[in-house]
A and B are shown apart, each in its own frame.
Chain A
Amino acid sequence: MKPKGNKRGSGDGRFAVWIGATAGLFLSTVVVGFIWLPSAQPGAAALDWWELICSAAGWPAERESFYPNIAGTPPSTVSWTPATRNRLTTGDATRGAQLAGTCKNCHGSNGISADAIFPNLAGQDVAALYKQLEDFKAGKRNADVMGVYVSGLTAQDMLDLATYFASLPHPVVDKLPAKNPDDALARQLVQKGSPARGMAPCSVCHGPVAYTVGTPGLQGQQRAYLEQQLQAFAAGTRRNDINQQMRSVARQLTDAEISQLSVYYSTMSQ
């Protein structure tokens, strides 16, 4: 037999008390959090009630102001949108190989340059190769040498070339050089960065720890080329790095650090 107090619908006043108390807590918190606290913020006097509530809810009053117009020219015409990244998977390496005849004169028949001033391209990331070709063509990167070669290329040509060179075997494997007392500065910068100067470790974008999109891997790259490019970033003569990521690092490096870094990455090989 059911005790009387447990029948469905019988008045258990606790439900009303608890639910009422919870609702009261909710409503008073909403009043404090969505009206009173935002109205106490600096600049709140200019807002009406609805704008206060919207600001506390995280809803910007004017959506357009969310995307400010930035004056000036961007450092690169390439942006890593999903569309760009999807397109980078559609390159044709065979066609790229047919177009690559001229490239091989400087960058080597297998994408590994014989002259230290020209970068190796073999096994490089497609996105990194593609971005540099686009930047040369768009005049975002000094194209004294490359300009004549890229001027006739279509976007598809550049994609196929990038895909071809990316498909060639990389000259090195991921391996740190043996410890060498002469590379202490470079080892520090590559592995730890320089927190006091606001510099992240090189290895978290350029490998071997991680690679960010469009960033070249540097292991086994030509020493003279690396040094020249770091100097160019430092001097501001190379400007195709988005948000000045490289320029803000390179201009803080000493000549000795630039030299050691170039040796360090170029010898990071088997």
Chain B
Amino acid sequence: MHGSSRLILAHFWAAFAVFAVAIPLGVWQMWVRSPLHEWLPNPELYYRAVTAHGTTFAYVFPTLIAMGFGYVACVVSLGRPLHGVRLAWLAYWLVIAGAALALATVAAGDATVLYTFYPPLSGSPNYYLGILIAVVGSWIWVGLMISHFLRWKRDYPGLPVPLAMFATTAGALLWSWTSLGVGAEIIFMILPNAYGWTDTVDPGLARVLFSWTLHAIVYFWLIPAYIAFYTLLPQAAGGRLYSDKMGRVSFLLLLIFSMPIGVHHLYADPQIGAGFKFLHAVFTGMVAVPTLLTIFTICASLEIAGRLRGGRGLLGWVAALPWDRPMVLASAMSLVMLGLGGASGLINMSYALNSTIHNTQWVTGHFHLIYAGAVVIMYFAIAYEFWPHLTGRPLVSLKLVRLQLWTWCIGMLATTLPWHYVGLLGEPRRMAYFDFTNPLMAPQAFWDSMSAISGLILLFSAALLLYILIASHRTPAGVMDTPRLSLAVEPPRSLPRSLNSFGIWILLVAALTIANYGFPIAQFLFVKNSSVPAYSVEAP
């Protein structure tokens, strides 16, 4: 790995360390609010666990994976060492320090505000400061990725930037732009209020700024999974990528359309006009395009692999795929969960249909299926793919790896599909307990119990993942191949500027953001009496 293995491993290990802490918290939440457990005497503990779980999985775990995998994409696709390694370590330690500060504050009970902050709830400033430090750390990584992209282009003018690097840069640009929303909310609204410099906070404006971040952040989490689909899966399946250009188009569309759509999280918010809700709904529909392009390209690539391996007939190539390989197995599971979660997402993004499931457990089911299911299982696959290259040691057992992937997939489906159903029945999300003796709630008891029990499967799977990673790190050193990325059927020799650069696309992203967010934000300069006093949740 061109001398970068330590840096990359540090990212992966830190990510899986926080994963190990936050997964049991999620399982515990499902358990204590299910009919299988008595009511918590103090619901504060539940919300503290929700805040820690959400903070870890929104700001820390995927950021570390995206950063680590970004460095992998850099060194493997560009075939040369990283530059700015000291800055990379600085970014790493900022993320670690910020995460530690934020999570310690939550653990102390001083910031039970959930990871979405929800002003006028107000916690200890240390919590927000911690998140800000972590985000600033990730901005250094963004700078490094852009710098690697530009330097390579300078050194090899006219040649296509390798797809993995192109996509990683798209992800970095997306994150830099979308994290400005939450950054502005923390710096200009929440921190001054938490420090007592301002008496009031405007929840409407805060929610609009958070929505700026809230949807595209999911695509920032998703992009490593998509990069794996395009650049790791075809080779792991024994074939080639169907189209390199389709990959570039998909990543560009993700960059352009995932940002100016966040108002679809605010359909029930009175401070946004219906016209803007409609506008964002239409553009939300557009992000389905790169996902559909990706599913098409990946299935075509897998068909190439299956036929190369002797598959015949309409679907014979499916059976011929090497299902014993973790990357192939995980990708198929990921696509199944992406399909189901994407379908429930279509309900969420529809202005009218959304009202039936708004703020219900359906929404929790949707984003866990997409993120904790489709995306995180690809993080596992990425870790399994590169662990031997990073540690110089083979994986301890492929059988255990497959068991881990199966239990994660089954556990996640069995956890989240019941959530969808109880959401349809009207079960609200973010509740510390439910009164299942109420006839209206009684039909949900069985399904909530099913989710809680499925959580134990996920706990087992998480423990197995950690065992495999630790045990593989301790096996005797072996001789590992050089890591390689998938070749396209027709590798591009030269590309038009539109598929090999970002300059004009960034302008388009900025223009769309101003068009879609300009008025919803600027209106707060003129609306009066929309600020309220904060409600402190700090422990007395």
Taking beta carbons and an 8 Å cutoff, which residues of A are in contact with B?
1-3, 5-6, 8, 10, 12, 14-15, 18-19, 22, 25-26, 29-30, 32-34, 37-38, 53, 55-59, 80-82, 85-86, 176, 191-192, 195-196, 208-209, 213
Contact = CB atoms under 8 A, between A and B. Distances in A.
21 contacts: A1-B158, A2-B158, A3-B158, A5-B497, A6-B497, A8-B497, A12-B496, A12-B497, A14-B496, A18-B498, A25-B286, A33-B278, A33-B282, A37-B274, A37-B275, A57-B523, A58-B523, A82-B199, A191-B39, A209-B43, A213-B535
A57 B271 CA distance: 10
B256 A34 contact: no
Contacts of A82: 199-200, 533
Contact of B508 (A6, A22, A81, A195): A22
Contact of B273 (A18, A30, A57): A57
A167 to B, nearest CB: 14
B279 interface: yes
Contact of A80 (B494, B496, B533): B533
B275 A56 contact: yes
A59 B271 CA distance: 9
Contacts of B199: 82, 85-86
A53 B256 CA distance: 26
Given A15-B504, A55-B273, A80-B533, A6 B278 contact: no
Contacts of A81: 533
Given A33-B279, A196-B438, A5 B496 contact: yes
Contacts of B200: 82
Interface residues of B, number: 40
A59 to B, nearest CB: 7
B158 A6 contact: yes
B515 to A, nearest CB: 6
Contacts of A1: 158
Contact of B271 (A5, A6, A32, A58): A58
A3 B160 CA distance: 11
A140 B18 CA distance: 55
A6 B500 contact: yes
B467 interface: no
A1 B497 CA distance: 15
A208 B40 CA distance: 13
B268 to A, nearest CB: 13
Contact of B282 (A5, A25, A191): A25
B445 interface: no
Contact of A38 (B275, B499, B515, B533): B275
Contacts of A3: 158, 494
Nearest to A195: B438
A6 B495 CA distance: 7
A140 to B, nearest CB: 22
B406 interface: no
A25 B494 CA distance: 30
* Residue in A15, A58, A176, A213 whose Cβ sees the most chain B Cβ within 10 Å: A58
A10 B497 contact: yes
B440 interface: yes
A18 B497 CA distance: 13
Contacts of B278: 29, 32-33, 37, 56
Contacts of A176: 41
Contacts of B435: 192, 195
B188 interface: no
B367 interface: no
Contact of B515 (A15, A26, A58): A26
B272 interface: yes
Contact of B279 (A10, A30, A208, A213): A30
Contact of B275 (A57, A191, A208, A209): A57
A213 to B, nearest CB: 8
Nearest to A34: B275
Contacts of B272: 58
Contacts of B512: 22, 26
A209 B433 CA distance: 13
A8 B500 CA distance: 12
A59 B515 contact: no
Given A12-B496, A37-B278, 20 more contacts: A3-B158, A6-B494, A15-B504, A18-B498, A25-B282, A33-B279, A37-B275, A55-B274, A56-B275, A58-B271, A58-B272, A58-B275, A58-B276, A59-B523, A82-B199, A176-B41, A192-B435, A196-B438, A208-B42, A209-B42
Contacts of B158: 1-3, 6
B498 A15 contact: yes
A56 B273 contact: yes
B157 interface: yes
Contacts of A56: 273-276, 278
A68 to B, nearest CB: 14
A191 B432 CA distance: 12
Nearest to A6: B158
Contacts of B279: 26, 29-30, 33
Nearest to B272: A58
B174 to A, nearest CB: 16
Given A1-B158, A25-B282, A29-B279, A12 B498 contact: yes
B519 interface: yes
Contacts of A59: 273, 523
